């Protein structure tokens, strides 16, 4: 009975803050929580779905966030290897990568390999996905559909940012 009460209380907190969902199921890193959505969307659809759920697309801003996100995604999909949308694109200007909120990307985790270094899609591929096995980034056609990552504010923090 006590457990049930706590569960109901948690649900009420979730409704008020619009952020608890990510932290109950996903991976907390600092002020934010990453959450995999295991359904197929193109980039624009993934962006819309994250906003509808009170979050936004995942935007790993530094090495610490990138490494935590990569570890979470690998554990979620293993032993498979799947691309997962991040909130990063160069739609506005080729080669200038912006997060989905319009801020500049300064930390990158492009795949570097002698056979296929990324990004390699030029003006054709302008949206970025993480591969689930190693966390490396690849540019893709934005209308490709794949699983996606949202980030949610940790409970009780009102603002995005560090
Ligand atoms: Ca591009």
Residue 159 lies inside a defined structural domain of this protein = no
Residue 82 lies inside a defined structural domain of this protein = yes
Q: How far is the CA of 109 from the centre of ligand 1 (A)?
A: 15
Residue 72 lies inside a defined structural domain of this protein = yes
Residue 161 lies inside a defined structural domain of this protein = no
Q: How far is the CA of 98 from the centre of ligand 1 (A)?
A: 11
Position 161 scores a pLDDT of 58
Read off the pLDDT of residues 94-132 as tens digits, 9 standing for 90 and up: 999 999 999 999 999 999 998 889 999 999 999 999 999
Q: How far is the CA of 15 from the centre of ligand 1 (A)?
A: 38
Q: How far is the CA of 100 from the centre of ligand 1 (A)?
A: 15
Residue 136 lies inside a defined structural domain of this protein = yes
Q: Domain holding 65: CATH number? A: 3.10.100.10
Q: Domain range for residue 96?
A: 2-153
Read off the pLDDT of residues 4-44 as tens digits, 9 standing for 90 and up: 333 444 443 334 344 455 577 899 999 899 999 999 999 99
Q: How far is the CA of 125 from the centre of ligand 1 (A)?
A: 5
Torsion of CA 79, 112, 27, 59, to 10 degrees: -140
Read off the pLDDT of residues 84-100 as tens digits, 9 standing for 90 and up: 999 999 999 999 999 99
Position 1 scores a pLDDT of 35
Neighbouring CB atoms inside 10 A of 124's CB total 10
Residue 143 lies inside a defined structural domain of this protein = yes
State how far the Cα of 21 lies from the Cα of 116, in Å rounded to an integer.
37
Residue 95 lies inside a defined structural domain of this protein = yes
Q: How far is the CA of 126 from the centre of ligand 1 (A)?
A: 4
Structural domain total, the chain: 1
Total-model pTM: 0.84
Residue 146 lies inside a defined structural domain of this protein = yes
pLDDT band at 3; cut points 50, 70, 90: very low
Q: How far is the CA of 10 from the centre of ligand 1 (A)?
A: 42
Of 82 and 115, the structure prediction assigns the larger pLDDT to 82
Q: How far is the CA of 122 from the centre of ligand 1 (A)?
A: 4
Read off the pLDDT of residues 43-79 as tens digits, 9 standing for 90 and up: 999 999 999 999 999 999 999 999 999 999 999 999 9
Q: How far is the CA of 144 from the centre of ligand 1 (A)?
A: 14
Position 158 scores a pLDDT of 62
């Amino acid at each position: 009975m006590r457990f049930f009460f706590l569960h109901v209380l948690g649900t009420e907190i979730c409704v008020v803050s619009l952020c608890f969902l990510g932290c109950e199921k996903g991976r907390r890193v600092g002020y934010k929580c990453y959450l995999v959505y295991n359904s197929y969307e193109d980039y624009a659809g993934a962006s819309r779905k994250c906003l509808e759920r009170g979050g936004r697309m995942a935007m790993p801003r530094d090495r610490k966030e990138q490494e935590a996100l990569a570890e979470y995604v690998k554990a979620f999909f293993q032993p498979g290897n799947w691309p997962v949308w991040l909130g990063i694109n160069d739609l506005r200007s080729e080669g200038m990568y912006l997060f989905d909120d319009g801020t500049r990307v300064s930390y990158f985790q492009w795949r570097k390999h002698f056979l296929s270094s990324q990004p390699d899609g030029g003006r054709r591929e302008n949206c970025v996905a993480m591969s689930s096995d190693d966390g490396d980034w690849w540019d893709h056609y934005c209308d490709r559909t794949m699983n996606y990552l949202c980030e949610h504010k940790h409970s009780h923090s009102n603002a995005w940012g560090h």
